[in-house]
Amino acid sequence: MNEIKEYTKKVFEDIKHIDEFGNEFWLGRELQKVLGYHQWRSINDLIERAKGACKESKHNIADHFAVQRKMIKLAKGAKRNVIDYKLSRYACYLIVMNGNPKKEIIALGQTYFAIQTRKQELSEKEYNELTEDEKRLYRRNQARKGNYNLNKTAVNSGVKDLARFHNAGYKGLYNGETADDIFKRKKLRYREDILDNMGSEELADNIFRIAQTDAKLKRDNVDNEYTANSVHYEVGKIVRKAIKEAGGTMPEDLLTPDRSLKELEKENKKLKE
C-alpha cells in the first residue's frame, strides 16, 4: 500500500459512520488501513492498550469498544469470520494516543480525535439536562453529520439528483410531503432550512430516517438511483409507522419552534462577544 503523501482530517471523516441514534463511530478494520497498519494484530495491540486506558479512566469499555463479528472473503471464494470493533471517538483517541507519534498519520489522528471528543459525546443524563433549544442544537448537529454520510452513500449508490433522493425520504416520513411542502407548511422565509426549524423530537425522527437509510443502502449494495430513492421512501414510511405504533406524534403535527436555529446561534454568538 502506498503511503498517503498529504494527510488531512478528511481521511478520518471519510470512514466515519453514524448509527441509528445519530452517534458517530469508526470501525477498527477501516481505521487500521487509514493508519497504515498492514496486519490486524498491529492495531489490535493498540486497541488492547487503549481498552486498558479506558478502564483506568473509569469509562465502560463496552460503551466505546463494541465487539463486532464480520465475514471476510478469502482466496478462491472462501470466507472467514473475523473480529472487528465499533469504536467511539474517545476510543479512537485512545488508540492513536498509543501509536507512534513520529508517524504523520498518527500525529494527525491524535489531534483530530482529541479536539471534540468531550464536546460531541453527551451522556443520557447530560442530554436530559439540556434546555429544548440546546437539545435542538445538539440534534441538528447530528442530523448534519448524518446527511453528510448519507449524501456520500447515495452518490456511491448511483444517485445523481440528491434533491429528489431527499424528497423521497421526506415523502415517506411526512405522508407525501416534499421538502418544499414542509417549508410552506412551516411558513418559513426564503432560503430558511427546514431542519433549522424543527424541535428536538422532529429532528430525532429525521435522524433515525437518515441513519437507517444510510445503513440499508450499504447493506443492500444498492447501485442505481431508482432503487436508492425507493429505499429512502420506504425507510421514511417505516419510521412513520414506528412512531404511530409507539403512540407518538406524527412529525407534521409537531409544533414549529418560534425561532430558527440560525437565530439561536446568532444570539449565542453575541452573548460570547
Parse the chain into domains and list their residue ranges. Answer: 10-120, 124-267
Cβ proximity of 79 and 71 under 8 Å: yes
Mean of per-residue pLDDT scores for the chain? 87
| Averaged pLDDT, 181-203 | 95
Q: What is the pLDDT at residue 6?
A: 45
Confidence at 271, pLDDT banded by 50, 70, 90: low
Q: Is the pLDDT assigned to residue 264 strictly greater than 70?
A: yes
User: Which range is least confidently modeled, 37-41, 99-103, 167-171?
Assistant: 99-103
Three cell numbers, residue 171? 415523502
Q: What is the pLDDT at residue 1?
A: 34
Q: Which of 140, 138, 240, 254 is nearest to 193 (CA)?
A: 140
Q: Is the pLDDT assigned to residue 5 strictly greater than 60?
A: no
Three cell numbers, residue 242? 414506528
More confident residue, 18 or 121: 18
Residue 16, class by beta-carbon neighbours within 10 Å (0-12 exposed, 13-18 middle, 19+ buried)?
Answer: middle
Alpha helices in the chain (DSSP H): 10-13, 28-34, 40-56, 61-64, 89-97, 104-115, 117-120, 124-128, 132-156, 162-173, 179-185, 200-219, 225-245, 261-272
How distant, in Å, are the alpha carbons of 22, 185, 253, 256, 269 from that of 250?
Answer: 20, 14, 5, 13, 33
pLDDT in tens, 140-164: 988 998 999 999 999 999 999 999 9
Q: What is the pLDDT at residue 170?
A: 98
Interatomic CA distance for residues 211 and 28, integer angstroms: 20
Percent of the chain with pLDDT over 90: 54
Cβ proximity of 43 and 37 under 8 Å: yes
Q: Is the pLDDT assigned to residue 64 strictly greater than 70?
A: yes
Confidence at 4, pLDDT banded by 50, 70, 90: very low
Q: Is the pLDDT assigned to residue 122 strictly greater than 80?
A: no
Three cell numbers, residue 101? 507519534
Q: Is the pLDDT assigned to residue 54 strictly greater than 80?
A: yes
Residue entry with cell 498509543: 98
Cβ proximity of 217 and 228 under 8 Å: yes
Q: What is the pLDDT at residue 269?
A: 62
Q: Which of 195, 167, 210 is nearest to 17 (CA)?
A: 210
pLDDT in tens, 103-114: 888 888 887 787
Distance between first and last Cα of the chain: 48
Q: Is 100 helix (H, G, I), strand (E, B) or coil?
A: coil
Cβ proximity of 32 and 85 under 8 Å: no
| Sequence-separated (6 or more) residues with CB below 8 Å from residue 89 | 24, 26, 113, 116, 117, 120, 121
214-219: long-range contacts, CB 8 A cutoff, minimum separation 24 = 214/17, 214/18, 214/146, 214/149, 214/150, 214/153, 215/20, 217/153, 217/154, 217/157, 218/153
pLDDT in tens, 35-47: 999 899 999 999 9
Cβ proximity of 177 and 168 under 8 Å: no
| Averaged pLDDT, 193-215 | 95
pLDDT in tens, 241-262: 999 988 999 999 999 999 999 8
